[in-house]
Amino acid sequence: MNQPRVLAEAEYSAAITILRAGGLLGLPTETVYGLAAIATDEKAVRRIYEVKGRPLDHPVIVHIGSIEELDFWGHEISSDTRLLAEKFWPGPLTIIVKRKVIAGDWLTGGQETVALRMPSHPVALKILQELGTGLAAPSANRFGSVSPTTAEHVIADLQDYLDADLDAVIDGGPCEVGVESTIVNCTTKHPTVLRPGAITQEEIDVVLNVKKVELETSHIKAPGLLESHYSPNAKVLLAKDESDLLELMKQIPAKQFVGLIAQEKIGTPNGCIRLAMPQSNNDYAHVVYEALREGDRQILQTIIAVMPEGDDIAIAIRDRLTKAAH
């Protein structure tokens, strides 16, 4: 199959033409690349599910270009919800609210709620604002695998499934954050975090003036919340620290090379191929998916990740690595 077109950042009007014609667009955001279609175009959104191989009852995020659009898609918006949107948008926060009829079943998987997010990546924002309508966009990977953080990742994952005559990817460079947005359920009296991300529970607490907004990963259907997700082909093993890493290495057959993702301060034991050496937790988030992909490109059977410590974005990284390891 032909490779879909890759547009440069400046070619956003070509990208808009593709979306208006019902095509799909690989779209850079500050978190990960999304696979976008005009949210009200049911046929195009259904193709996103086909291309991703994603079950139809898993809802997608509607990306919007202004805070005002919160009221276009959602209703019964609480004052807490507005505070969160005003404080964190544009940025890596997804808000779940009750849906209006315009948010059809093809976006919500038939649920009475809709997920909304205003991304801060300049290419995504420009396209959304010129379009003046929402874009449905899950991460641009096949269902269950690692999210893409570059345009090349999107092509590598989806070129066999995209239509070269209809679809395209716009290259906005590597994503700044590197892990998916924080998801907050605002449909309950007290908002809860459904998926940790760059915006931490603590930051949300400050805005909502609460002690501890809960992390709740139970009742709402969200594939990122399935136990196994974000998985490379290699088997992922988790280590708490350097001595844990050395223990794990003892269990690896002598001839087998193992990929290692660990912060700079952790040494590289014999038999390890360093896939990433992040210098901070933010840097860890920025490189972790590329490192998992690099392990697969090198056809490694095993990747060991030494988990980052802390209660900043490290929580999101530990969450994703735990799911990758499941």
Mark 104-143 with x for binding to Mg ion (rule: CB under 5 A) and - for no binding. Answer: -----------------------------------x----
Q: Which is nearer to ligand TXA, 216 or 242 (CB)?
A: 216
Q: Which does 114 bind (CB under 5 to 8 A by kind): ligand TXA, Mg ion, none?
A: ligand TXA
Residue with Cβ nearer Mg ion (90 or 148)? 148
Tell me the residue number closest to Mg ion, measured at CB: 139
Which option in Mg ion, ligand TXA, none does residue 149 bind, with CB closer than 5 to 8 A by kind? none
Distances (CA, A) of 40 to 20, 63, 75, 320: 11, 12, 17, 30
Least Cα distance to 128 among 207, 180, 174, 72 occurs for 72
How many CB atoms within 10 Å of residue 93? Answer: 25
Closest CA to 278 of 289, 209, 237, 70: 289
> What does 181 bind: Mg ion, ligand TXA, none (CB cut-off 5 to 8 Å by kind)?
ligand TXA
Nearer to ligand TXA, 148 or 278 (CB): 148
Instruction: Kindly state the smallest distance separating residue 129's Cβ from ligand TXA, in Å.
Output: 16
Q: What angle do CA 134, 92, 87 make, to 5 degrees?
A: 95
The DSSP result for 203-268, as a single string, is: HHHHHHT-S-PEE--SSS--GGGSSS-SB-SSEEEEESSHHHHHHHHHTS-TT--EEEE--TTS--
Least CB distance from residue 133 to ligand TXA, whole Å?
16
Residues that bind ligand TXA (CB under 6 A): 29, 31-32, 34, 58-61, 94, 96, 108, 111, 113-115, 117, 119, 137-139, 180-181, 183, 220-225
Nearer to ligand TXA, 181 or 200 (CB): 181
Question: Which of ligand TXA, Mg ion, none does residue 144 bind (CB under 5 to 8 Å by kind)?
Answer: none
Least separation in angstroms between residue 14's CB and ligand TXA is 20
User: Among ligand TXA, Mg ion, none, what binds residue 261 when CB lies within 5 to 8 Å by partner kind?
Assistant: none
Tally the residues of the chain.
326
Angle, CA 114 vertex, CA 113 and CA 119 arms, to 5°:
155
Q: Which is nearer to Mg ion, 81 or 111 (CB)?
A: 111
| 34: partner contacted, choices Mg ion, ligand TXA, none (Cβ within 5-8 A by kind) | ligand TXA
Closest CA to 282 of 94, 28, 30, 9: 30
Cβ proximity to ligand TXA, 108 vs 281, nearer residue? 108
Q: What amino acid is encoded at 91 in this protein?
A: G
Q: Which amino acid is at 152?
A: E
Closest of 94, 97, 59 to residue 180, by C-alpha: 94
Nearer residue to ligand TXA within complex by CB, 60 or 155: 60
Place of tokens 């490189």: 287
Q: How far is the CB of 50 from ligand TXA (least distance, A)?
A: 15
Of the candidates 32, 33, 38, 31, the one whose C-alpha atom is nearest the C-alpha of residue 7 is 33
Q: Which stretches of the chain bind Mg ion, using CB under 5 A?
A: 139
